[in-house]
Structure formats: C-alpha cells, structure tokens
Chains A and B, each alone.
Chain A
Amino acid sequence: MSQYLIRRILIALPSLLGISLVLFTVLALAPGDPFGELAQNPAVPPEVAASLREKFGMDDPIWERYVKWLTQMLQGNWGFSFVSRVDVDVLIMQRLPTTLIVIGSSQILALLVALPVGVYAAVRPYSLFDQIATTLAFIGFSLPTFFTGLMLILIFSITLDWLPFVYQSNVEATGLAFYWEHFKQSIMPVSVLGLFQAGVLTRFVRSAVLDVVRLDFVTTARAKGLRERAVIVKHIVRNAMIPVVTLVALQMPAVFGGAVVTEQIFRVPGIGSLLIAAILANDTPVIMAVTFVFACLVILFNLIADLLYGWLDPRISYR
C-alpha cells in the first residue's frame, strides 16, 4: 500500500509541474508584465516593487524565470499583497480553513443526499421515486449556484428572516451561541454548494449502481440467501463506489468554481472571495497565489481519490 502511495505521489508531481507551467505561461504571455505594473502602482512601496522585480528575475531567460518562480511558489514565498499590505501566504492561510470547511461540509451534505437517493432510485429503476429523484437531480445541477444563492437569500433572509445573509467572521457570542451562530450562517452557503453537488452525484451514483445491478455476482449474492438489503449494501453499493470516487475527483475543479461563487454571494471570507476581491483590486500576487493554491487543492483531492480508489478496488492496489 505504501508503495502504491509513493507511486501515486510520483504521478501527481508532473501534474503539479504541468499546472504550474500553465500558470506561468499565462503570466509570461500576459501583455506587459503583471508584476511590472506594480512598480507604477502608487500603493506599492518602491522597495517592495524593486524586491519583487528581483525576486522574479524579470530579465532572466524564460526557463530560468520559471524555475525561480516555481521555487518561490513552493517555498511559500508568494509575495506581498499591496492592497492589504500583508504577506500573501499569511492572507491565504487565514482564509483557507474557511474555504475547506465550506467545501468539506457541502461535499458531505451532497454525499448524504446523493448516496441513499441514487441507490434507492437505481434499485427501483423507472419507479415513481426514481422519476422524481432523477428530475430533481436534473433541476439541481441545471440551477446555477449564483441563482440558487440569491433565491435562498430572498426566501430565508429577506422574506422569512430566519438566517443571516452575510457571513460574519467575528461572531459576537461565546460558548454554544457562538457555534450556533456559525452554524446558522453556514447553512445557506453549504446548502447552495451541497445541493448542486447532490444533483450531480445522484446521477453518478444512480448510473453506477445501475451498471452494477445487472452484473453476475449480484445474482450470486442473492443465490447465497442474503437479505436484499445486504445484497444492495455489501455487494452492489460497495462496487458502485469505485466509479463514483473517480467521478467525484473529476468533479473537484467544478466544486472549487462553485465555492468561489458561493463565497462571493454570501461574503464568506474564504480564498474564493479573496480571489474576486484581488481581481477587482488588481492585486496580482494574491491572484496568482490563490489560483496556484486552487490548483494544488485539485491535485491533492485527486491524490486522495486515487488512494481511495486503490483501497476500494483490490485489482488496483495489489498490482
């Protein structure tokens, strides 16, 4: 297993390099010099601009610049935000946990909805439940997150006044009330992202289960005299999880996109809203760093998915 892990990490490295290369190419191809602009920006102290120029070695050959840039990125020297006058890595580390919590809880919510619904729909294909579930799933992933977000605000904050529509990072409460407030203000962002994902995942789960249901070993399981429930959970769902893991991993980039939108709507102080703020303020070091962090996160989740896959499917991990 550890050998498998090492091999997977070795496979992930080139993708990391590749993504950094894409990012760097974008930078290098960009008109003018994104970092050079800083020099003219009055908000940037001259010594910072000079050190930036030196740090990124503007006059070196391109491959040397890439190596230098990558080394800097990997060491966490992501530069200095000239808007908030803080090191970019500090800024991102402040906000990354919030993003991970929102994404994590919404993924959990999505799985909690999608697994039972998708499985139940697939074992009774074309039943009324299946038709309602697939229709709702279709609606769920056709609803753009920005629209669902606005709708939830309209219903639960404006009309019903149940939930706060702006996320506050400093909740003025202590003990249980503190957590309750945090929970209340997380409901809408997490649901927006979670329900969209649930729509996508329900379809994945349903079709994966439908693929497994007709396989011979399911008949074998029934012939053993197992209860239908045991057949479904132990034999059908267990096998259907293998393709679902792959599809969930492929879906991660879209999840991060959804997170950016959701954070922006509800003003959640995560790296997604940081990105938008940075773009609106032309804060290039922050923009590049956040994008790089997003890319690393995608690769990290792919790695986790690979490990899960190897753990779920004995045909892979032992080879």
Chain B
Amino acid sequence: MTEPLLDIRGLKTHFKTDDGMVRAVDGVDIAIGRGETVGVVGESGCGKTVTAMTVMKLIAMPPGEIVEGEILWQGRDIVKMSPDEMRKIRSKEIGIIFQEPMTSLNPVYTVGDQIAEVVRLHEGLSRREATDRAIEMLRLVNIPTPERRVKDYPHQFSGGMRQRVMIAMALSCNPQLLIADEPTTALDVTIQAQILDLLAEMRERLGMAIMLITHDMGVVAETTHRVVVMYAGRVVEEATVDRLFGDPKHPYTQGLIRSIPRIDTAAEKKERLEAIGGVVPSLLHPPPGCRFAARCRFATDKCTEAMPPLRDVAPGHKVACVLYDA
C-alpha cells in the first residue's frame, strides 16, 4: 500500500475537567488514502468530532490535550507542528466543514469576503482576484447567480445554501482532504441528499479525499468507500462499505446496521427495528476491557479483562472483538 494521505496512529485526545480526565479519543487509528472517501460513524459522544478537530488542531488546549499518538499528514506529524506550520495546512491542504451551517459563517461579512479571505491568505491573491475566485467557487457549488450572491450576507441564505457556501470556502484552495463533520445533520432530508451529491460531485471534479463524519449509517452506505466505526473513543471496526454492510463483525456494528429503518424488509418480513440498549459508557472512567461489553449480548468474562486490539479478520477488514480471536 502506498503512503496514505492522512495516517492517524494511536491518537489519544483527553480533556481536563473539574471531575477528572475525559478520555474523548482514546487510541484511534484511521488512515485515509488520496481521493478516498472514508466514513467515520458512531453515536454522538463517541469521539468522531474530537478526532476531526484534533487533526485540524482546533481543540482548545487547555482543557484539551493530545496525550499520545501521531497524525501523519503526507508523512509529517501534525501533532509536533508549530502553530505557524499548522496554519499553512488549514484550508490550504485540509478543508473542514461543520454541522451547523447556520452559525458557521460570520454574520457580519459577506459570503464573498469570507471565501476571499481564505484565498487571499493562502494564495496571496489581490482583493479583486479573490472575489473572482469566490464567484467561481459559488458557481462550482451550484449557487445561482453567484455574481450577485457574492455580495450577500449569510442571513440572506437558507441552511442548505449556507452549507454550500461552507463547502465552497473549504474547497477554495483546492485542498487534498476535506473533513466533513456531520455536514447534513442540521438540514432537511431533501437538502441532505443534495449536499451529499454535491460532495460526491466535488470529489470527482477536484479529486480530494473526504473524511465524512456522521452518525447516519444510511449516509455512509451511499457515499463512502471505506468505513471506520467508532465507539467510546476507540475504533471497533473498519472495512469497505460492501464488507461492512454485507458482513458486519463487531456486535456494535451489527446493532448499528440493524437500527437503520428499511422500508422494503420491514414491510415484507415485519421485522422490528432494533435499538441498541443502554448508553455509551462514561469517558471519565471507562470500564476496563471492551467498552461495549456492558451493552453487548455476546459479552463474556473475557471481554472485561483487557481491551481487545484492532486486528485483521480479512484483507482490509479489521475488528476489535474477542469473538474473532483465533
């Protein structure tokens, strides 16, 4: 395998609180190749967003702290980078869009100025050139009459349109990786599909890799190549989309897949939609051993003894579960 674009190895990001250390991300490995779309899924609070924010070094420190691990970006370790080096990577090499398009844009500047700010910073364009680029980017993300819209303020756009603006902004310097942190969660279902289509279209045109963070298994199935399933700050399974949905190994993944509402099967077989019982364990004092053990119907004594490592069960299919110990 060639060197991946982004290689997160054994990353631990913890947060100091009054009650103790919260182990939000506690040993995560994710690799993303060039042009690849990788989905990161899991329930809220499992550390997906913190992982993404750590890659961009957007975690407030303190209270946050990268305790262990490395984040290799084209071979260079982001964890060890100085703030100045990191700034040159943000938006230039790695773009990011967030969950809340309504609040992610600064209300007092025009969307044109906000996109122009990025290209002026990283490419040293003049004000005029930057505005032209902004118009071009707005056109690229299918905003009608971009010449006029470029002078509008964020409040003059709908939620879906604002997310398009965010995408235009994140892609304006043609980064090699786009991190999309729950980009469709705050949007209407019809708009969600449009944004996902737009992301796919952008990937085809510009060729960047996408790290798509979501809790929605449906979104993952439609748009990604490979999927990383996270649970309580750890990766529990990783596989291609087809394998993951065709042959999920980890009981948590199986639970997630069973909880997707499906019109066809439900109508025919009268299957009940299954929810996973229980809640995500406290990240303050995580239980020893497998963190899913308390909610797992296959749990044995062995599960609570030691944390099962992530290991290959098939080529490109990794899982962290004692059930698959040789």
Please say whether the chains A and B touch (CB closer than 8 A). Answer: yes
Question: Looking at A221, A225, A242, A314, which has the most chain B CB atoms within 10 Å of its CB?
Answer: A225
Q: Is the CB of A220 within 8 A of B88?
A: no
A239 nearest CB neighbor, chain B only: B108
Select the stretch in A133-141, A211-219, A263-271 that faces chain B. Answer: A211-219
Q: Is the CB of B91 within 8 A of A225?
A: yes
Contact flags (1/0) for A203-246 with B, using CB distance below 8 Å?
Answer: 00000000000011101111111111000000100110010000
- Alpha-carbon separation in the docked complex, A313 to B108 (Å): 6
A224-B90, A226-B121 given as contacts; is B153 within 8 A of A318 (CB)? Answer: yes
Q: Is the CB of A235 within 8 A of B106?
A: yes
Interface size of B in residues (CB-CB distance below 8 Å): 29
B residues 82-105 in Cβ contact with A at 8 Å: 83, 87-92, 95-96, 98, 100, 103-105
Q: Is the CB of B118 within 8 A of A225?
A: yes
**Size category of the binding interface on chain A:** 20 to 34
A223 nearest CB neighbor, chain B only: B96
Interchain nearest-CB distance for B145 vs A (Å): 18
B156 nearest CB neighbor, chain A only: A318
Interchain nearest-CB distance for B108 vs A (Å): 6
A residues 108-139 in Cβ contact with B at 8 Å: none
Q: Is the CB of A225 within 8 A of B104?
A: no
B153 nearest CB neighbor, chain A only: A314
Contact flags (1/0) for B59-95 with A, using CB distance below 8 Å?
Answer: 0000000000000000000000001000111111001
- Alpha-carbon separation in the docked complex, A195 to B117 (Å): 37
Interchain nearest-CB distance for A246 vs B (Å): 15
A212 nearest CB neighbor, chain B only: B106
Q: Is there a chain B Cβ closer than 8 Å to A303's Cβ?
A: no
- Alpha-carbon separation in the docked complex, A217 to B91 (Å): 14
A220 nearest CB neighbor, chain B only: B104
Interchain nearest-CB distance for B297 vs A (Å): 39
Q: Is the CB of A226 within 8 A of B117?
A: yes
A220-B98, A224-B91, A226-B117 given as contacts; is B122 within 8 A of A314 (CB)? Answer: no
Q: Is the CB of B104 within 8 A of A217?
A: yes
Q: Is the CB of A222 within 8 A of B108?
A: no
Q: Is there a chain B Cβ closer than 8 Å to A312's Cβ?
A: yes
Q: Is there a chain A Cβ closer than 8 Å to B213's Cβ?
A: no
A residues 22-59 in Cβ contact with B at 8 Å: none
Interchain nearest-CB distance for A214 vs B (Å): 9
Q: Is the CB of A220 within 8 A of B105?
A: yes
Q: Is there a chain B Cβ closer than 8 Å to A7's Cβ?
A: no
Q: Is there a chain A Cβ closer than 8 Å to B107's Cβ?
A: yes
Q: Which residues of B contact A217 (CB under 8 A)?
A: 103-107
A227 nearest CB neighbor, chain B only: B87
A228 nearest CB neighbor, chain B only: B83
- Alpha-carbon separation in the docked complex, A113 to B95 (Å): 38
B107 nearest CB neighbor, chain A only: A315
B residues 141-172 in Cβ contact with A at 8 Å: 153, 155, 166, 169-170
Q: Is there a chain A Cβ closer than 8 Å to B56's Cβ?
A: yes
- Alpha-carbon separation in the docked complex, A242 to B90 (Å): 29
Contact flags (1/0) for A278-312 with B, using CB distance below 8 Å?
Answer: 00000000000000000000000000000000001
26 residue pairs of the A-B complex, CB under 8 angstroms, read A216-B98, A219-B58, A220-B104, A220-B105, A220-B169, A221-B106, A223-B91, A223-B95, A223-B96, A223-B170, A224-B121, A224-B169, A225-B89, A225-B91, A225-B118, A225-B122, A226-B117, A227-B87, A235-B106, A238-B106, A238-B108, A239-B107, A242-B108, A314-B155, A315-B107, A315-B153
4 tightest A-B contacts by CB?
A225-B90, A216-B103, A217-B106, A225-B87
